[in-house]
Amino acid sequence: MSEEPEPFETPAEEPRAPMNEPAGEAVEPAGEAVEPAGGAVEPAESAGQPEAFETQAEETPEPVAEEPPELFAEEPPVALAELVLSEVRPSVTVRPGQEAGLVVLAEMDEPFRSLHMYVGQSEAKAIDAGWRGGRPARPGTWDLLLEAIELLGGRLDRVVIDRVEEARHFYATLEIESSGTTLSLGCRPSDAIALAVRVPDCGLYTTEQVLSSAGRYP
């Protein structure tokens, strides 16, 4: 009798992995991690923490001796030329139909230049009266100002003609001494001269710049 063939055994199907999961187990890289030959590379110095870099100490520059600052040279005082009243005319003709007063101040030292200033006729009369030593019965404007200066403890020390424009417009300064301090007050030269001639010890001065611009030679 013939032997009956054994029934074929179909291998059981393995359950399929879900679509969202990778099939089978995670593939591990073949073999172990490859290490570089000779083991892990260590720093040439040591395997420990790197030593701090040694920085070369900066040389501290030697202190340079500082020279003391130069003191600012004080400006030299302005040289003044002393003047004297040499002429007063209460009325002169400036141009046809116009009259004014004239005051002439003369330089006391060489080259004996002079300043010719046209002033108001009333100022010229006041200068002439004070120059001649006249005292009005009632104090005029210039007498009143001098009395006020004295009442306040001051004294008119000197008058300086310190500026001129166009060789004919003059400017003056009153210098008043009060408690050891010099007070300066700008004014018209005609008023300054009218005050100066009323104070015996009051000096009358001008600058070289004024004489160079407006001075007349004899």
User: What is residue 215's DSSP assignment?
Assistant: -
The CATH topology of domain 80-214 is Bifunctional nuclease domain (3.10.690)
- HSE toward the beta carbon, residue 145, CA cutoff 13 A: 14
Under the banding of pLDDT at 50, 70 and 90, the label for residue 27 is very low
Under the banding of pLDDT at 50, 70 and 90, the label for residue 13 is low
pLDDT in tens, 154-199: 999 999 999 999 999 999 999 999 999 999 999 999 999 999 999 9
- Of the chain, the end-to-end C-alpha distance in Å amounts to 180
Q: Is 87 within 8 Å of 104 (Cβ atoms)?
A: yes
Sequence length of the chain is 218
Bridge-based pairing of strands 169-178 and 154-165 is antiparallel
pLDDT in tens, 51-61: 554 555 566 66
Bridge-based pairing of strands 98-107 and 114-119 is antiparallel
CA 61, chain centre distance (Å):
35
